[in-house]
Amino acid sequence: MFRLIFRLLIAAFGLWLATQIVPGVTADGWKTLLIAGLLLGIVNAVVRPIVTLLTFPLTLATLGLFLLVVNAGMIGLVAWMLDGLTVRGLWAGILAAVVTGVVSWGGQILLGDAKEERERD
């Protein structure tokens, strides 16, 4: 349960940081960011694997760079579902995806998830 709450907070923090750094990404407040973090977790668990599978040839052709567009799309989908979060344009979405991705990566390191995944391989 702690890991789930921590991941939610990390996602919310990543989105908050994106609103501070990336022009075109805005949020109404912490409540919106927490709900957006929860929705982003659900969207990443349910929708992202399907989209990633469908766009696999394009992802392969771009050596994985198209995953940035997929991640931007997931953030855009969350912004579409949630009134208080706004992402204006593709580049704002891509930069927000980079920021939230880096923050999530840092959170995985703090949780030890990255080390566990390397040990499983």
Question: What string of DSSP letters covers 87-104?
Answer: E-SHHHHHHHHHHHHHHH
Q: What's the predicted TM-score (pTM) here?
A: 0.86
Q: Which of 105, 104, 111 is nearest to 11 (CA)?
A: 104
* 58 Cβ contact list (under 8 Å, min separation 6): 66
Q: Which domain holds residue 103?
A: 2-120
Report, as ranges of residue numbers, the positions in the chain whose pLDDT lies below 50.
none
pLDDT at 3: 80
pLDDT at 121: 53
Please check whether residue 75 is in contact with residue 97, taking contact to mean a CB–CB distance below 8 angstroms.
yes
Q: How many domains does the chain have?
A: 1
pLDDT at 117: 54
